[in-house]
Structure 1
Amino acid sequence: MPPSNAFRWFPLTLTAALLTGCTVVDSSPGNTAPFPESGQVGQAADLLTELTVAEPHSMKGYSRDRFPHWRDAGANCDVRDTVLERDGDKVKLSGCNVVAGTWTSRYDGVVLTSPTKVDIDHMVPLANAWRSGADKWTDDERGDFANDLDRPQLLAVSASSNRSKGDQDPSTWKPAERSSWCSYAQDWIEVKSYWKLTVTEKERTSLTEMLGTC
């Protein structure tokens, strides 16, 4: 697994009015955390300049099965349950399985009231990771990437926004919620930086533009 060289991830609330140079705490229900400070944004910009720019690799040999997920998380639960519990409000469990709660999709603001209607999105899609260097990894390393709970790689979102995104990078897809662009760019950069994945020139340009909304 690559060594960590990325800034600390603060999970962001889903209805963020992002401000530069100050820390704001959202009083809305659910999980709360500080919004990005100007220093964090600057660090993300620095990490972006350090990412290797390269043309996408071939999709030859790609399969989602090459990124084994979801891993067990104990007592008949898995990583999906872990993300649902982390990102939801008023979550109810049966054992450790999530059976009820409310989730606000950061990508489009849609409020979801059933865990069966929630998709767990990979911030950097598996196919994008393959094209960015994961094609050279072992399946165990790809499994670590697909189940990464230590970075902002997994997020509970609406199925429609997740499927709209598909395997696209920020040069061709951005969240409908423009207020999420700042955190989206930071999270994308952090994941690619930690896992030493490449970016395209258009991708880097779009990430720079998104950081400009912070």
Structure 2
Amino acid sequence: MKKLILIPLLISSCYVSAHSGRTNSEGCHNDKKRNEYHCHNKIKEPIIPSVNNSTSISNTSSTSYNRKDWPHWIDADNDCQDSRAEILIRDSKLPIKFKRNKPCNVSWGEWHDPYTAKVFYKASDIDIDHIVPLAHAYKMGGKYWTREQRREFANDFENLIAVEDNANQSKGAKPPQDWMPENRLFHCEYLKKWNYIKTKYSLGKSKAENSYINNLAKAMNCR
């Protein structure tokens, strides 16, 4: 009996010590001890059989969503700053500080999270959110994309924003009808960004998604 009890306890202990911070719905999180963002799990998303305006780009689609098929964060210009670091630098209101005095990994700055309207100073408290999530993009047309096209989408600065890690984890891969930022003052801007990315990549919209966005934009008099 002792062995049966001891083994799961050891496994649980190892998991906790290795991962500081909760994971989001895609199995990803900020490791605050190592000041890095990484993922572990593959999730399977149900395939929506009919989506308006979705574009079939190639015949290389997989049968289920796998975050590893969407390479990020990449260092496109080979300056040692990957996409995450670039967005942290872009969105910080003050000059940032780097980890170990090397201009690669951001450790401190000042980020005004538009999702919660709160201010944060530690990079480990910040996630880089895909406004249109990768798993959602997969269902709405991205399952037909090549790996190169998925890489471009996953690292598109126009689809990336620095937000509180808990807010990003709460959102997961949810569309607007299932999740909106806590900060109502950002709702119109959020919908604008969502629609822009959907149009830019010819991604489809479900009827529920389209109806919710139109009704909320009208109710809030979004321009």
TM (norm. structure 1) is 0.70
Name the residue aligned to 2:135. Answer: 127
Residue 184 in 1 paired to residue 190 in 2?
A: yes
Is 1:195 aligned with 2:201?
yes
Q: Name the CA distance, whole Å, in 1 between partners of 2:95 and 2:84.
A: 14
Residues paired across the two proteins, number? 159
Could you say what secondary structure the match of 1:198 adopts? coil
Larger Rg: 2
Q: 2:153 aligns with which of 135, 145, 148?
A: 145
Moved over 3 A (4+): 51-54
Residue 139 of structure 1 and its aligned partner are, at CA, apart by: 0.9
Cα distance in 2 between the residues matched to 1:157 and 1:59: 30
Q: CA deviation at 1:91?
A: 2.7
1:209 shift after superposition? 2.4
Name 1:88's counterpart in structure 2: 92
| Per-residue Cα deviation, 1:66-97 (whole angstroms, up to 9, x for no partner) | 11001114332101111001111113243243
Matched, 1:65 2:68: yes
8 Å Cα contact 1:53-1:200 kept in structure 2: no
Distance in 2 between the 1:209 and 1:106 partners?
22
State the identity as a percent: 34
Tell me the secondary structure at the aligned position of residue 216 of structure 2: helix
Consecutive unaligned residues in structure 1, runs of 5 or more: 1-50
Per the TM alignment, residue 128 of structure 1 is displaced from its structure 2 partner at its CA by 0.2
Please say if residues 97 and 109 of structure 2, whose CA atoms lie closer than 8 Å, have aligned partners that are also in contact: no
Mean Cα deviation higher: 74-83 or 94-103 = 94-103
Residues 108 and 175 in structure 1, CA contact (< 8 A), matched pair in contact too: yes
Q: Secondary structure at the match of 1:77?
A: coil
**Which sections of structure 2, spanning at least 5 residues, go unmatched?**
1-50, 55-60
Output the TM-score relative to the length of structure 2.
0.67
1:79 aligned to which of 62, 72, 83: 83
